[in-house]
Structure 1
Amino acid sequence: MPMALVSSDSATDGRSTQVPAAWRALRIAVIGAGLSGLAAARMLADQQHQVSLFEKSRGCGGRAATRRAAYPSGQPSGQPLRFDHGAQYFTARDPGFQRRVQSWAQRGLVAPWDGRIGAFDGTEFTPAGQETTRWVGVPGMSALGRELAKGLSVRLETRVMPPRWCRGRWQLSDEAGTDLGRFDRVVVSAPAPQSAELLMDAPRLAAQAACVDYTPCWTLMLGFDTPVPLAFDGVFVNQTQGPLRWVARDSSKPGRARPARDAAVAGNATRSEEDCWVLHAEPGWTRKHLNDPPEQVEAAMLEAFAALVELAGGSLPRINWRQSHSWLYSLVETPLEEGCLWDPALGIGACGDWCNGARIEGAWLSGEAIASRLLAAVASA
């Protein structure tokens, strides 16, 4: 997938953690409100611990993100445009995670994306991965993180400095030096390079996090005034020279406005409904052009997309809206496959997709894993 997402309540997969007889509520800080941090926070809060979740961004969910844009001027009024500019979809293979996803689907948080997916090898288009169930958030990927954060104590737009061990507890402060409190346990849920910095008082864990590499990704979001004449809703572009690696018709996903794709392919697209696309650049090309001006990057990616559509026998409609975004930590190249990192003596650890095979599924399972480790350590104390 491009860019490439156990508690005690009824929405879990049934694996619950027993509260020890000598139980006491701990103050626990979770740094990072991506899906792994949310998984850990939810599980720990379900066990009645006092969980504080800190996030440097304006919203929860990490790369399961959706960009909203105002409807283009001069067009009929309607809903704002939405673009899943990070994770495009996720799969569920682990049985426990499958049950979790089914519970989300029952609540209307996610739905299968039945878009037609293809691959382009530089010469021709072929169908790809039709047997795979691809899940997306509804009405955007960010809806999942936003809903899962409800009921949790979340402090947004707060950049936490490395926690410091002080008199048997962890002292947290933000970049302005504001005291954020003292905590019994700390869970770090951030990209590996950032986690390594936050774990400086736990050097063994920091060294493990520092070994993990990521690929960056330039993303281009495009809004067209009529449907793009491409028979596929998502295409893996298998050309290592770049610039494109993946293109997707976001408006084909459930809960979004659905364009007249079939009419566009037939050459009679007359509807004015906006057609939203997300383009992801090839990792090597992104590295080479990571510091280029956005205008140059957008021009190169748009030219490549136009060429792709021309090879399919069509041409790009008029563009009403466009914007680029660079993900420095996009896809994990060298995941640890440790599940999570935890130091029971210090009471600090880390989780994330980089601990558990990348992807959204790995991130969620990593969050559950570290919560389980923490609770088990409390139970055995």
Structure 2
Amino acid sequence: MIAPAEERGLRIAVIGAGLSGLAAARMLADQRHRVSLFEKSRGCGGRAATRRATQPSGETLHFDHGAQYFTARDPRFQRCVQTWAERGLVAPWDGRIGAFDGDGFTPAGQETTRWVGEPGMSALGRALAEGLDVRLETRVRPPRWCRGRWQLSDEAGQELGRFERVVVSAPAPQSAELLMDAPRLAAQAACVDYTPCWTLMLGFAAPVPLAFDGVFVNQGPLRWIARDSSKPGRSVPAGNSPGDAVGGSSVGPAAEQAAGSTGRGDCWVLHAEPGWTRKHLNDAREEVEAAMLAAFAALVEMAGGALPAITWRQSHSWLYSLVETPLEEGCLWDPALGIGACGDWCNGARVEDAWLSGEALAGRILAAMASG
């Protein structure tokens, strides 16, 4: 699109600042609509998220604890990614990828181009939200249809405004709740299932002796492991820390001394297998971390090495990690009510699917306006 389709801009609310919500918001704002983006967390990007941690040496490590990377297969999304690359928002990850089948390691997927945000996956969400009216840490109640408009309020009951169109961009179970005044759409969202995922982030005093930077694990409690410090722009030397590291657990004075002597650490992200996560979803965090760490140590031992001293550790549980049963609808839209939903759960299970779903819903809104 090269020009606005309409002279009069609508007031449009987008609930959720994941990549699908950002895609819809950007397209609608580019068409001069008055878009307000509401996000319950502290940042934009959803599962394209990054944690930062400071090593005892002062080095800053970046952990992509949600989406590890993304691919671009659809020509429309390829054009987006190329634009992001030219802006310095993303870069190819040339890490060595392998697979573990229980007996040994083999190379895997070398022909695939894997893209990552730079210097972290969350950088993409922050950049795409620039210039938009974004209200973070705002949890929205289900929108209510009132006198031809959608009334929004936060969980405290404070009014957020009345809108002519609403875009819901949240995991399917949450979208089903937000769509209660659009029962047909709510019923479709309620049919979608997710797998949960325990994630463990680890900082080490020295590089982990493993020949691969990412491994698909096909046995045991782990599903995926990745050396995030091998991704472009991830490791910041001591003295150049941006100063916004998040808290984690430091592991003893000996580990701190080792980290200070090497000057360069290593950071890894471990994702647990979905079935194992379901079984242990409510276990004590310390027990989960110990089991995942033991499985990782066993993998490194299989490769003939041992884990270096751990200098930083933190876990995170993703309740809505991977979509099991995507609708393959592209997006959901009710033209009579002027409300719709988008997300990877509408279109597939990849970052690409989330972005294309958001663009699809924005296109439905624009097309409905053009047809009167």
Q: TM-score, normalised by structure 2?
A: 0.92
Quick one: distance in 2 between partners of 1:70 and 1:277?
14
CA–CA separation in structure 1 for the residues paired with 2:263 and 2:196: 34
Instruction: Please tell me the residue identity of whatever aligns with 1:104.
Output: W
What is the SS of the residue equivalent to 1:218?
A: strand
Matched, 1:184 2:164: yes
Q: CA deviation at 1:257?
A: 2.5
Partner of 1:216: 196
- Per the TM alignment, residue 358 of structure 1 is displaced from its structure 2 partner at its CA by 1.2
- Give the letter for the 1:55 counterpart: E
Partner of 2:144: 164
| 1:301 pairs with 2:279 | no
Aligned-residue Cα RMSD (Å) equals 1.3
Query: How far apart in 2 are the matches of 1:281 and 1:17?
Result: 46
Counterpart for residue 355 of structure 1: 346
In 2, the alpha carbon distance for the partners of 1:232 and 1:128 equals: 10
1:89 is the counterpart of 2:75: no
Match of 1:266 in 2: none
2:48 is matched with 64
Find out whether 1:254 has 2:232 as its counterpart. Answer: yes
Quick check: 1:111–1:254 contact (8 Å CA) kept in 2?
Answer: yes
CA contact (8 A) 1:251 1:258 kept: no
Residue 224 of structure 2 aligns with an amino acid whose one-letter code is W
Match of 1:374 in 2: 365
Amino acid at match of 2:191: C
Q: 1:17–1:372: 8 Å Cα contact kept in structure 2?
A: no
For residues 51 and 318 of structure 1, the distance between their equivalents in structure 2, rounded to whole angstroms, comes to 49
* Equivalent in the alignment of 1:5: none
Count of residues in Structure 1 that have an aligned counterpart in Structure 2: 349
Displacement of 1:297 after TM fit?
Answer: 0.2
Deviations 1:115-157 (A, max 9, x none): 0000000001000000000000000000000000000000000
Tell me how far apart the structure 2 counterparts of residues 315 and 251 of structure 1 sit (CA, whole Å): 18
- 1:149 matched to which residue of 2? 129
- Paired amino acid for 2:12: I
- The structure 2 residue matched to 1:174, chosen from 142, 150, 154, is 154
Cα distance in structure 2, aligned partners of 1:300 and 1:276:
18
Equivalent AA in structure 2 for residue 280 of structure 1: H
Give 2:283's aligned residue: 292
Q: Which residue among 311, 316, 324 is the counterpart of 1:320?
A: 311
Write the distance in 2 (CA, Å) between the matches of 1:141 and 1:244: 22
Deviations 1:186-227 (A, max 9, x none): 000000000000000000000000000000000000000000
> In structure 2, the residue corresponding to 1:101 is in which secondary structure?
helix
Q: How far apart are the structure 2 equivalents of 1:314 and 1:39?
A: 44
CA contact (8 A) 1:252 1:258 kept: no
Equivalent residue of 1:285, what SS? Answer: helix
Taking CA–CA contacts closer than 8 Å with sequence separation of 6 or more, which of the two structures ends up with the larger relative contact order? Answer: 2
1: distance between equivalents of 2:125 and 2:234?
A: 18
Mind listing any 5+ residue stretches in structure 2 that lack a counterpart?
A: 238-260
Q: 1:30 aligns with which of 6, 14, 17?
A: 14
Any conservation in 1 of the 2:201–2:313 contact (CA below 8 Å)? yes
- 8 A contact 1:195–1:206 mirrored in 2: yes
Match of 1:244 in 2: 222
- Distance in 2 between residues matched to 1:87 and 1:103, nearest whole Å: 20
- Tell me the residue number matched to 1:51: 35
Tell me which residue corresponds to 2:5: 19
Q: Which amino acid aligns with 1:47?
A: Q
Query: Which among 126, 134, 141 is matched to residue 114 of structure 2?
Result: 134
Code of the residue aligned with 2:233 in structure 1: it is G
Distance in 2 separating the partners of 1:117 and 1:17? 43
Contact 1:222 1:277 in 2 (8 A): yes
**In the TM superposition, what is the alpha-carbon distance from 1:272 to its structure 2 partner?**
3.5
CA distance in 1, matches of 2:348, 2:49: 20
What is the CA distance between 1:18 and its match in structure 2? Answer: 5.7
Aligned equivalents of 1:125, 1:321: Cα separation in 2? 27
Unaligned runs of 5+ in 1: 1-7, 9-15, 260-269
Amino acid paired to 1:243: P
4+ aligned runs moved over 2 Å, structure 1: none
Aligned residue in 2 for 1:4: none
Q: Which residue of 2 aligns with 1:332?
A: 323
2:4/2:32 contact within 8 Å kept: no
The one-letter amino acid of 2:314's match is Q
CA drift at 1:258: 9.1
Does the 8 Å contact 1:67/1:84 carry over to 2? yes
d(CA) in 2 for partners of 1:202, 1:117: 44
Identity fraction in percent:
84
Q: Please report how far the alpha carbon of residue 274 of structure 1 lies from its aligned counterpart in structure 2 after TM superposition.
A: 1.2
Measure the CA separation in 2 of the matches of 1:355 and 1:137. Answer: 23
- Matching residue's letter, 2:205: D
